[in-house]
Amino acid sequence: MKKLYFGSNLKMYKGIEQTKEYLCRLNNLLQNIPEENTEFFIIPSYTSLQAAREVCNSGKIRIGAQNMCWEEEGQFTGEVSPCMLEEIGVRFVMVGHSERRHIFKETDIQENYKVKTALKHNFTALLCVGETAEEKEAGVAVETLRRQLKIGFSNLKESDAANVWVAYEPVWSIGVQGTPASAEYAESIHAEIKKCLREIFGENADKIPVLYGGSVNKENANELIIQPSIDGLFVGRAAWNPEQFFQLINNALETIKHTS
Ligand code: PGA
């Protein structure tokens, strides 16, 4: 069975106490899942990170940050440095989530600075990519994704592939207004992403997990996870209740066991 990844970005939801409670419950539930070939991660708010790290110290859940500055220190009001994340034991960072790109106008170049800084600090960087509805309609989805990947990962060594992950999250599929991508569409795009990653990282690209995100829920998770080019699910709303997220993960693992 291929290695499977399941994670959630908690966005600007759940304060410290709620995050701790969520993680304790999820951690307990995940004890029922055999260790091998699965990886779990949660990306809480900044203020909850330290408490989250403490709760997950001995558990199965990797804790990540939602964003990070590309500089280590300086006059960057409101930003958080990689050194500050290191100080609290966080070595996993998400870069370029659709909401960062579209609401906060982050650019591919900025995402590249962040990826490079993350790698310099031996972090794992999860780069999110995704086309808008307009780009999809105009038939340039793949071009958009190739640009985001080629710029986002520019000036990296092939060996850096060991420390990068990718999440494909079409902008039109994210959040309450989103429509999930069909498994067929997601698979075809994931195959293109993997092809592009091979151009960037050579054979090392095969180590990079490519996760699907955008309105993943208990109805579509099983169909998505069995696609050959989908290595995991990056879940928003449907993961914010620990019992429901656990159920989704468990069903997905059962499905894949019976199809592989
Ligand atoms: P959603 O969020 O599952 O609630 O659509 C996905 C995401 O933004 O990562």
For residue 173, the ligand 1 atom closest to its alpha carbon is: 5
In this prediction the pTM is 0.97
Structure tokens at 159: 């060996």
- Residues 119/125, Cβ–Cβ less than 8 Å: yes
Half-sphere exposure of 31 (CA within 13 A, CB side): 9
Cα-to-centroid distance, 219 and ligand 1 (Å): 15
112 lines ligand 1 (CB under 6 A): no
- DSSP code, position 65: B
pLDDT in the model for residue 57? 86
| Letter string b/e over residues 137-161, b meaning 16 or more CB atoms within 10 A of that residue's CB | eeeebbebbbebbebbbeebeeebb
- Residues 127/110, Cβ–Cβ less than 8 Å: no
169 lines ligand 1 (CB under 6 A): yes
Residues of the chain with pLDDT under 70: 35, 260
What are the pLDDT digits (tens) for 176-223? 999 999 999 999 999 999 999 999 999 999 999 999 999 999 999 999
Active site residue 169: yes
Instruction: Detail the DSSP E strand segments found in 76-152.
Output: 92-95, 124-129
215 lines ligand 1 (CB under 6 A): yes
8 lines ligand 1 (CB under 6 A): no
pLDDT in the model for residue 58? 79
Cα-to-centroid distance, 104 and ligand 1 (Å): 17
Mutational test site, ligand 1, from 98, 237, 248, max ligand atoms within 8 Å of CB? 237
Q: Which residues have C-beta within 8 Å of that of residue 116, sequence separation ≥ 6?
A: 70, 155, 156
Half-sphere exposure of 39 (CA within 13 A, CB side): 16
Active site residue 71: no
Residue nearest atom 3 in ligand 1 by C-alpha distance? 236
pLDDT in the model for residue 36? 78
Mean pLDDT, all residues of the chain: 96
